[in-house]
Structure 1
């Protein structure tokens, strides 16, 4: 599998953790800036949801896909946006995907903030990884800036 098609299937423990985070977010409780991302399916047009970590860096907000080119990534690319939900609040969002060359500082911040949760997906890298190391893995980690 090359970096452009990297996708890690969630394990049962991951699914249980995600279900708990989603359950809390649906009730208006955010854990470390978690939200429910809702995106229209690119084939079905149906709303699809998944918990995500919303991150703010220098005033801009981002979503990172630690498992790679997942279904939500493919759907948001096709739709150009979706909704971020927390409790009864839903925020319509548009996104712009970052180029691989621009991802290193965002990935580093992501690892600093959520490495405890997602670090295992980063092939042994952590918040202290060099720019070169992060640039090398960047194609496998889609990053979206909320527009």
Structure 2
């Protein structure tokens, strides 16, 4: 089975993703929007994309609503990254991917917070879906627990 990935169409990339990336790079954080920076798995160069970090039950998470995207593949390889707001790094973190069995609660919280924006990528699953429905969709949506590194004083 090939990994699930929903590539944005040309118009969506131009009308949605570019403006969101532009806002994130300038430190304008709509609804918690941040810019994820992670080293490319082949080039080693920093790659960035806008993301919606989720705080839930005392932990922080990154959820990939579009599936197994390039940022997901890079984060799996690197194991760490940065969240940025404008030109400043807000958090340097280590990422741990959750197994599918641990995802339903996080996916529910994510969909409750951002379902209006990303719900179309979840094939009818939403924040009110049963644990079984969320578990059935979990393999399509990677989830990473992020552990923020404390910066030295």
TM-score by length of structure 2 reads 0.91
Do structure 1's residue 145 and structure 2's residue 145 form an aligned pair?
Answer: yes
Aligned to 1:102: 102
Residue in structure 2 matched with residue 118 of structure 1 by the alignment:
118
State the SS of the aligned residue for 2:139: helix
The correspondence for 2:10, drawn from 9, 12, 19, is: 12
1:130 and 2:130 aligned: yes
CA distance in 1: counterparts of 2:18 and 2:60, whole angstroms? 23
After TM superposition, give the deviation of residue 13 of structure 1 in Å. 3.8
On the 8 A contact 2:125/2:137 being kept in 1, the answer is no
Alignment of 1:82-93 (within 5 A): 82-90=81-89, 91-93=91-93
Deviations 1:46-80 (A, max 9, x none): 11111000110012110000010010000000000
2-structure distance, mates of 1:83, 1:18: 19
8 Å CA contact 2:53–2:62 kept in 1: the answer is yes
Residue 75 (structure 1) aligns with: 74
Structure 1, unpaired ranges of 5+: none
Q: Separation in 1 of the partners of 2:53 and 2:4? A: 21
Residue 136 of structure 1 aligns to a residue whose secondary structure is: helix
* CA displacement at 1:12 relative to structure 2: 2.7
Superposed CA RMSD: 1.1
Gaps of 5+ in 2: 148-153
Separation in structure 2 between the aligned mates of residue 59 and residue 14 of structure 1, nearest angstrom: 33
Q: Which residue in the other structure is 1:63 paired with? A: 62
Once residues 47 and 139 of structure 1 are traced to their aligned partners in structure 2, the CA distance between those partners, rounded to angstroms, is 27
Q: Helix, strand or coil: the match of 1:32?
A: helix
Moved more, 69-78 or 89-98: 89-98
User: TM-score w.r.t. structure 1 length?
Assistant: 0.94
